[in-house]
Amino acid sequence: MYDLNKGYEVAKEFYAQYGIDVDKAIEICDATPISLHCWQGDDVAGFEKKEGGLTGGIQATGNYPGKARNPQELRADIEKAMQYIPGVKKVNVHANYMEADTFVDRNEITPENFSNWADWAVEKGIGLDFNPTYFSHPKSEVATLSSADEDIRKFWIEHGIRCRQIGEYFYKRTGKPCVINHWTPDGDKEVPVDTIGPRLRLKDSYDQIFEATKDVQGVVDGIESKVFGIGAESFTAGSHEFCMGYVMKANKDHIIMTLDTGHYHPTEVVSAKLASVYTFSDSVLLHVSRPIRWDSDHVVSFDDETRAIMEELVRLDKLQDTYIATDFFDASINRIVAWVTGLRNTRKAMLAALLQPVAQMKEIEAKGDLSARLAYKEEFKAAPFALVWDYYCAKENAGTGLEWLKEVQEYEKEVLQNRK
C-alpha cells in the first residue's frame, strides 16, 4: 500500500486551489446514510415458509453458490459487507423477509415477525427501512393493489397497512425514521382497453392504506413507478405519471417519489429528473441501480450516471433531503462482493461530487461564462478524489484499495462454501 497520508496531503493541496475543504467533504459524505437492500443476499427469495419463485417481472440471474439460506446467515453476510462500506448505513428489509415458525400470509404479518431484525438493528445501532412485497405470491399473478377482484385488492391493501405499522415499529425500536418503498408490479403484456380503471383502483388502494394508518409515526413513504416489467411490457398501472401525480396531489410531507435508476426508458436518466421533482417536493427516495438495456439490476458502478446523480444532489443542495437506497440483485457473483462494490461505488460517487467547487461553478454560470463552465466540469472528472477516497476508507477501517476483497474471499472459503 502506498503512503495514504502523503496522498491525502497532495489531494488536499490540489483541492485547496479551488477553495474546497476536503475534511468537510468527508464529514458530509460519512454522515449521509445509504440504505443497504437485504435482498441482494439471497436473490430476493425471502424467508416465508412457502414454495414458489420470484415473480413481479423482476429477475435475479445467475447461480453463484453460497447464498444466505436463513435470516441468521443473511444478517451475518450483511454484517460482513457493512465492514467494508464506509459511512452511516441503514438496512432495507422486504416484507417477505419475515420470520415465523409456520406460514404467515402477507395480510397477517405483524411487528413480531420482524422483531429479530429490530433486535439486530438496535444492537448494531442502525436504522431499518421497509418494503411491502406485492409479488412472489399466488394472489399477485394478475394484479395486486390495482386488481379488479375486490377480495384480492383488499388482501393487498391489508398488506400495505400492516407494512406501515411495521415501519412504525422499526422507528420506535431504532429511534430512526423508517423509509417504506411502495412498489407494485401490476401491469399487462398488451395495452389494455381500459387503461384508467387499474389506475383508479391503485389510487384508491394507496388512499385506503394511508387513511387506515394516518396516525402512524416516524414513517416516510416512497411511491415507486416503473416503465415496464417482464410480462408487463406494454402497460404498468404505477407509471411515472401516475406516481408523480399521486405524490403531488397527496401533498403530504411523508409521501414522496421514489426514483429508481432502472425504471425509465433507456435514454431517460434520473439525474435529469431530480431538479423537476425537487421543484415541487421536499424530499425524494432514490433507488440506485444499474440498468443494462432493461431494469437488469446490475451492481451499481462508479459510472457517469451514478456520478451525475450525486453531482446533481450536491448542486441542488439536496443530499440531506434525499433518502439514498441501493436496489440491485446479481446472483452470478459472490453476493457480498456485489453489495460491497455497489455501496462503495455509491458512496465514492457521493464523495467525488462533494469535491467540486459548486459555488464557484454556479457563479461562473450566472456570469454567462459557458466556456469556463465547461472547462471546470471537465477538469474535475480527473481530479485526485481517489486519494481522498483511500484515506477515508482507511480512516473508517473499511478496507483500502482491494484489501477488502481478500477478506471477503476468505469468508467465502470459510463460510459461504459450506452452504449447500
Ligand X SMILES: C[C@H](O)[C@H](O)[C@@H](O)C(=O)CO
Listed in sequence order, the residues at least 6 apart from 95 whose beta carbon sits closer than 8 Å to its beta carbon are 106, 109, 130, 131, 132, 133, 159, 163, 166
Residue-wise burial string across 8-30, b where 16 or more C-beta atoms lie within 10 A, e elsewhere: beebbebbeebebebeebbebbb
One-character DSSP codes across 221-280: EEEE--S-BTTB-SEESS-HHHHHHHHHHH--TTEEEEEETTSS-TT--GGGTHHHHHHH
Which of 330/390 has CB closer to Mn ion? 330
- x/- map, 173-212, ligand X, by CB under 6 A: --------x-x-----------------------------
Locus of grid cell 420482524 = 114
Cα dihedral sign, 97-98-101-103: negative
Question: Could you tell me if 256 and 247 are in contact, meaning their C-beta atoms sit under 8 angstroms apart?
Answer: yes
By CB under 6 A, residue 287 contacts ligand X: yes
Looking at 224, 311, 312, 412, which residue binds ligand X (CB under 6 A)? 224
Counting Cβ atoms within 10 Å, is residue 420 exposed (0-12), middle (13-18) or buried (19+)? exposed
Query: Do the annotations mark residue 390 as ligand-binding?
Result: no
By CB under 6 A, residue 39 contacts ligand X: yes
**Measured from the CB of residue 224, what is the shortest distance to Mn ion in angstroms?**
6
Residue 58 interacts with, from ligand X, Mn ion, none (CB under 5-8 Å by kind): ligand X
Question: How many residues of this chain bind ligand X (CB under 6 A)?
Answer: 12
Which of 26/349 has CB closer to Mn ion? 349
Looking at 106, 176, 199, 226, which residue binds ligand X (CB under 6 A)? 226
Question: Could you tell me if 82 and 92 are in contact, meaning their C-beta atoms sit under 8 angstroms apart?
Answer: no
By CB under 6 A, residue 58 contacts ligand X: yes
Residues 115-174 that bind ligand X (CB under 6 A): 131
Residue 186 interacts with, from ligand X, Mn ion, none (CB under 5-8 Å by kind): none
Grid cell digits, residue 78: 450483511
Which of 41/86 has CB closer to Mn ion? 41
Question: Could you tell me if 97 and 149 are in contact, meaning their C-beta atoms sit under 8 angstroms apart?
Answer: no
Looking at 287, 298, 335, 348, which residue binds Mn ion (CB under 5 A)? 287
Which of 106/287 has CB closer to ligand X? 287
Looking at 260, 295, 390, 412, which residue binds Mn ion (CB under 5 A)? 260
> Which stretches of 315-373 are assigned E, i.e. beta strand?
322-326
Distance separating alpha carbons of residues 382 and 43, to the nearest angstrom = 36
Residue 82 interacts with, from ligand X, Mn ion, none (CB under 5-8 Å by kind): none
Residue 334 interacts with, from Mn ion, ligand X, none (CB under 5-8 Å by kind): none
Query: Do the annotations mark residue 3 as ligand-binding?
Result: no
Which of 295/330 has CB closer to ligand X? 295
**Measured from the CB of residue 222, what is the shortest distance to ligand X in angstroms?**
9
By CB under 6 A, residue 260 contacts ligand X: yes
By CB under 5 A, residue 297 contacts Mn ion: no
Query: Do the annotations mark residue 295 as ligand-binding?
Result: yes
User: What does the chain come to in residues?
Assistant: 420
Question: Could you tell me if 383 and 14 are in contact, meaning their C-beta atoms sit under 8 angstroms apart?
Answer: yes
Residues 318-347 that bind ligand X (CB under 6 A): 327
Distance separating alpha carbons of residues 169 and 81, to the nearest angstrom = 25
Helix (H) or strand (E) run with residue 219 in it: strand 219-224
**Measured from the CB of residue 13, what is the shortest distance to ligand X in angstroms?**
42
Point out the residues that are catalytic. Answer: 183, 224, 226, 260, 263, 287, 295, 297, 327
Residues 325-384 that bind Mn ion (CB under 5 A): 327
Residue numbers in the known binding site are 263, 295, 297
In the complex, which residues of this chain contact ligand X (CB under 6 A)? 39, 44, 58, 131, 181, 183, 224, 226, 260, 287, 295, 327
Residue numbers in the known binding site for Mn(2+) are 263, 295, 297
